Amino acid sequence: MRIFKTTAVVIGMALVLSTAAFAAGDAKKGKMLFDDANFAGGSVSCSSCHPDGKEMEKAVMRGKKEWKNPGGTWLSLEDANNVCIILANKGKAIDPKSAEMKDLIAYFKSLKK
């Protein structure tokens, strides 16, 4: 019985750690998406307006509660990203909880100095 409980705890911890790693996103993948003109079915890359991620480090400032872009003011960074994907990149919105969105945000966080 004790072995079963220990095994269950170890498996549970592994799941939590893997979920946390997934939730954090991958900055390298995010940069690749950011530079890909075909991302989300688009025809223009994010980096065409934000070379080297210019201004994106401000998007992940601690305590930020709204994000502004040419499409308006948004209450989440994910929504602001999707508006840019639709309007500027000519693509289709991606799921705000998707791995791609998490990767993009991880890339933005990697830009902070």
26-79, pLDDT tens digit by residue? 999 999 999 999 999 999 999 999 999 998 988 998 888 999 888 899 999 999
Categorize the per-residue pLDDT at 19 as very low, low, confident or very high, splitting at 50, 70 and 90.
Answer: very low
Tell me, yes or no, if the pTM score tops 0.85.
no
Question: Which pLDDT value is given to residue 31?
Answer: 97
Question: Which pLDDT value is given to residue 97?
Answer: 96
Q: What Cα–Cα distance (Å) separates residue 74 from each residue in 64, 83, 93, 100? A: 11, 9, 15, 19
The Cα–Cα gap between 111 and 113 comes to 6
**Nearest alpha-carbon partner for 46 in 62, 30, 58:** 30
Higher pLDDT, 14 or 80: 80
Question: Which pLDDT value is given to residue 16?
Answer: 47
Question: Which pLDDT value is given to residue 35?
Answer: 97
Domains of the chain: 25-110 (1.10.760.10)
Cβ–Cβ < 8 Å for 93, 110: no
**How many Å separate Cα 38 from the centre of its chain?**
17
The Cα–Cα gap between 105 and 6 comes to 36
pLDDT tens sequence across 70-100: 889 999 999 999 999 999 999 999 999 999 9
